[in-house]
């Protein structure tokens, strides 16, 4: 639980910076939204009626959900109107999804084993969302790195060819530098 708590607190320096600057700048809300729904789903999973003897799962994920809520409220406070509405809409949808999962599994699934399986599977999907969310930030950087590498390779290929071509042309003209080597 301590490690999970520290994981939830890891974005704190980012939000201190956002508060100091008064703007979210280019930060994406995706990781915080992903973590928010993930914590909600795991909190439902840890309920005694869903998965008995897992109160620690509910407590740490309830705390994580509260921490992510604070992050998202700060994000909403410092972002523009359009992004604010988008984040609020996604948060409402996530709360509805978590509430619907809890309601449906508690009313329709009659054994804790079935409830655990259903909510656990959905929570694992939430895990994938949470850990894939930072990739939305990394994808443009990865694409830029690939294009940069391609540019360097092309430069190396054409630079060496143009250098050889200059050497051949200067030898053909018979131009010599002061040191006796062909002039480049």
Q: Tell me phi and psi for residue 182, to 5 degrees.
A: -60, 140
Number of H helices, E strands in the chain: 7, 0
CA angle 138, 95, 86 (to 5 degrees): 50
What pLDDT is stored for residue 183 in this prediction?
57
Q: Give the separation between CA 179 and CA 184, rounded to whole angstroms.
A: 12
| pTM as predicted | 0.70
* Ranges of the chain whose pLDDT falls below 70: 129-130, 133-141, 160-167, 169-184
What pLDDT is stored for residue 157 in this prediction?
77
Q: Where are the domains of the chain?
A: 2-133, 144-184
What pLDDT is stored for residue 182 in this prediction?
57
Q: Give the separation between CA 112 and CA 101, rounded to whole angstroms.
A: 14
CA angle 2, 74, 130 (to 5 degrees): 50
What pLDDT is stored for residue 126 in this prediction?
75
């Amino acid at each position: 639980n301590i490690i999970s708590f520290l994981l939830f607190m890891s974005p704190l320096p980012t939000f201190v910076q956002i508060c100091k600057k008064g703007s979210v700048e280019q930060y994406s809300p995706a990781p915080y939204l992903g973590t928010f729904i993930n914590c909600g789903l795991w909190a439902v999973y840890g309920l005694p009626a869903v998965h008995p003897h897992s109160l620690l799962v509910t407590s740490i994920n309830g705390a994580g959900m509260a921490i992510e809520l604070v992050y998202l409220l700060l994000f909403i406070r410092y972002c523009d109107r359009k992004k604010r509405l988008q984040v609020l809409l996604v948060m409402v949808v996530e709360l509805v999804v978590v509430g619907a999962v809890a309601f449906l599994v508690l009313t329709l699934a009659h054994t804790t084993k079935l409830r655990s399986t259903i909510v656990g599977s959905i929570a694992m999907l939430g895990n994938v969302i949470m850990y894939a969310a930072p990739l939305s930030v990394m994808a443009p950087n990865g694409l830029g790195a690939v294009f940069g590498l391609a540019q360097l390779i092309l430069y190396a290929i054409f630079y060496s060819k143009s250098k050889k071509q200059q050497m051949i042309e200067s030898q053909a003209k018979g131009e010599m530098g002061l040191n006796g080597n062909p002039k480049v």
